[in-house]
Structure 1
Amino acid sequence: MLKQGLVAKGLLVVLIVAIATAACVLVVGATAKDVAGWLIPLVGTYVGAAYGASYAFKLQQGKEAAAADRAKVDALNRALMVMCLQYNEVAATWAKMRSFDRGELPRMIGLPAYQAPQFDYRQHVVDLAFLMRFDNAQLILEISIEQGRFDACLDSMQLRSKYFVKTVEPLIEQYGLRSKLLSEQLVFTAFGERIYQTLRNNTNSLYEHFATTEVSLFETIEKLHRTAKQFFPREKFFKVGRVNFMAEPTNGLEGLDLEAESRGIE
């Protein structure tokens, strides 16, 4: 728009100069030297003003484009950072949970009451709305879903922990179940059907949430990181390494590579 305006103004100036020059020569009888004396400074002033305006406009455009790109990079890094922190939390807890997963009954009784952490970092997917212009609306939806899955992990942990401490642990101590060779019938008789089934459902739900979220959260981080590098190949973005869970769970945390492959920023 500015370039078109400058061209139009330039043509108008040329027309006015041509008319003025003709009038000076024909009516006033001015010589070419006289005309040049006032015409050249006039044209020079206009050309300088036009060039200065064009340069200032392009400079401002460049600054605005750079600021817009920086805002996009920051939004992508915030989203990646939040998911990386969430993944570290999920993976570390899942590693501990797996050490008790030697069947339904051992994990029902053996898994302690973990306190759900206070996690202040949350996704603000509205900051990623610009991805919709590049056919990445599905990725925005997946990031939002992962936030919900992470919340569900913490909620299920808190639900089971409260129930375990208030209702289950007193019965374990009362019947000395920690020191006995457990059987389903023994635990069922000690707890009763309602408590047994509630603990069973809470524990199974907790394991399912963490098992699926550990996988889906890591995959979404990988997708967003690839997308970010596609748009901004020279920028650095947060990235996390996958925790190496060994095939056989052991008593405690032995055999689990909790150091993972911490990749930090790439």
Structure 2
Amino acid sequence: MSSVKPKSWVYVLIFLALSGVLICAYVAGAIGNRELALGCLPLLGTFFGATFAFRLNQAKEHLIEQQRRKDALSWGLFILVRQANAVEGTSLGMDKYRSLPPAHRAFTYPAQKPPDYQDLVHDFADLKFVLDHDPNFFLLLTIEQESFHQAYAALRLRNEFFFEQVHPAIEKAQVNNRVITDDEMEQALGERLYHTLINTTDNALDLFADSRKSLPETIEKMRQVAKQYFPDEKFITFKMKAKLENSGK
């Protein structure tokens, strides 16, 4: 349980109250010049000592808060860079499929289980102070995080659908490793499986294209916010490994 620290005006009130007592005693003749001086000197020493300690503690707390904010901004940038790096890596594997016809893309894109990036989340409580600086950016940061996890959730959904429903249907229809037309594939699998796979594949690729474009922009915006708080500090940067091409975006 944290202790309540007195404000600076409390020390002033105590000093004035004790000074008033000494002055009243002097005026009433209860104490002489010597006693007044002996009473005032320790009082002044105590007052200035307490004031100095209060200011020193204020400066210490300010430094601690500044360090906490700098750490929060640095960690937030680190999370964004890791998200961008993950999206970039996954997107590079998608690029050669983007220019293919929808059905060909859906049935040839490999169904691999993507990594679990549940640790790549911002601590918005630590970044709450950014609300005072730029509430729109704070909202943008929450949307960016949701978009990142939504992209991987869509990819997992597509891959699970392929493994659990489409692949068994392909084996059952005995069309695996055969060259057939799109119409023949649709007829063999049925309209639901055929079109659901196309839609979920396109949805996943579109979400990754969106995040691949927006994450570097959000990183740069967060670096600008961090630099406005701490202009002399160095913060992490991120550069795209390759340009996004043939994404339809």
Deviation at 1:12, TM superposition (A): 6.6
* 1:77 and 2:74 matched: yes
Contact 2:11 2:51 (8 Å CA) reproduced: no
Q: Normalising by the residue count of structure 1, what TM-score does the alignment of the two structures yield?
A: 0.77
Aligned to 1:264: none
* 1:168 and 2:166 matched: yes
Deviates more, 1:86-95 or 1:1-10: 1-10
SS in 2 for 1:127: coil
Please list, as runs of the form range in 1=range in 2, the aligned pairs for 1:139-178 lying within 5 A after superposition: 139-170=137-168, 172=170, 174-177=174-177
Contact 1:101 1:107 (8 Å CA) reproduced: yes
Partner Cα distance (1:120, 1:163) in 2: 21
Contact 2:158 2:197 (8 Å CA) reproduced: yes
Aligned to 2:3: none
Distance 1:215 1:93, change over 3 A: same
Partner Cα distance (2:203, 2:55) in 1: 58
Unaligned segments of structure 2, at least 5 residues:
1-6
Partner Cα distance (1:147, 1:246) in 2: 20
Contact 2:15 2:43 (8 Å CA) reproduced: no
Partner Cα distance (2:144, 2:71) in 1: 20
Partner Cα distance (1:146, 1:130) in 2: 18
Partner Cα distance (2:13, 2:59) in 1: 22
Query: Pick from 12, 16, 19: which aligns with 1:13?
Result: 19
User: Percent identity at matched positions?
Assistant: 28
* 1:47 and 2:44 matched: yes
Deviation at 1:58, TM superposition (A): 0.2
Amino acid across the alignment from 2:83: Q
Distance 1:14 1:183, change over 3 A: same
Partner Cα distance (2:111, 2:87) in 1: 16
SS in 2 for 1:217: helix
Aligned to 2:4: none
Partner Cα distance (2:163, 2:17) in 1: 85
- Deviation per CA, 1:173-204: give whole Å up to 9, x if none: 63144x63x64334323333221101111111
Partner Cα distance (2:176, 2:65) in 1: 64
SS in 2 for 1:241: coil
Q: Normalising by the residue count of structure 2, what TM-score does the alignment of the two structures yield?
A: 0.81
Contact 2:209 2:244 (8 Å CA) reproduced: no
Unaligned segments of structure 1, at least 5 residues:
250-266
Please list, as runs of the form range in 1=range in 2, the aligned pairs for 1:41-190 lying within 5 A after superposition: 41-103=38-100, 104-121=102-119, 122-134=121-133, 136-170=134-168, 172=170, 174-177=174-177, 180=179, 183-190=181-188
Contact 1:160 1:202 (8 Å CA) reproduced: yes
Deviation at 1:246, TM superposition (A): 6.3
Partner Cα distance (1:159, 1:14) in 2: 77
**Which of the pair has more CA radius of gyration?**
1
- Deviation per CA, 1:40-74: give whole Å up to 9, x if none: 44332222111101100001101111111122222
SS in 2 for 1:81: helix
Contact 1:114 1:157 (8 Å CA) reproduced: no
Aligned to 1:263: none
SS in 2 for 1:115: coil
Partner Cα distance (1:51, 1:227) in 2: 39
Partner Cα distance (1:187, 1:219) in 2: 41
